[in-house]
Structure 1
Amino acid sequence: MSRPATASCPCGLPAPYSGCCGRLHRGEGAATTAEQLMRSRFSAFGVGDEAYLLRTWHPDVRPPRVGFDKGLRWVSLEILETTGGTVFHGEGTVRFRAHFVERGRPGQLEEHSRFVRLDGRWVYAGVV
């Protein structure tokens, strides 16, 4: 699913998608923190970018494919807490709440995710 270049980024930061997570999705940069990777992965779920999601999943826990539900729309992301995950760390966690609408009904998912550096890049390593 494409997104207009000036549309705000689904990750919640005050920037257009094209210059925020879109840049990472296109491979024009890499997340520098675990939180930035979490935000970009949320956006990838929002825009249906399976290739980016698989590329940023640790190979030990990566599924063969991402199953997108056409009746589910991711609408906003709240970062609740982060530990580690900066340019000075090799691992970190991000606790977040993702808001969605599924078949017209609002809902939310709260997760405490673990991220590690693999070959110098942040990857999602599963739930804490």
Structure 2
Amino acid sequence: MRARLVLNPTALEGLPPFLEVQWEGNILKGALRQENPVLGEVVLPFACRMEGQRLTALPLPPPSLRAEGWVRPSPQGPALELWVELVLPEGRSWGERAFGRILEALFLRALGQMLPVPGETPV
């Protein structure tokens, strides 16, 4: 799932309530809050390191998001483009793996409803 967010790294204001983002030096940290019909509210943290204009994912324990992307100049300030992937614990049985696929489908569906479609007005 691709999300394009226009952020000013010195004043991260005006973000939607489901998204928390902060810069700590060259590390971008954040969390996505999502209401899950099976688990209730889920908070999925993410972290990435800025290396030039590239954002490289930093590993976090599951459940979390693997986020990577680019920081590019734009008229409104730095444009942050992130690609996110849900990271879940490895399922040991076929039932656990099936449950993980269901959770991933629910996550992607909800994320698609929360974030703008690429090419539309960014958050």
Per the normalisation by structure 2, the TM-score is 0.30
Look at both structures and tell me which one has the larger radius of gyration over its CA atoms: 2
Larger helix proportion of the pair = 1
More strand by share: 2
For normalisation by structure 1, the TM-score amounts to 0.29
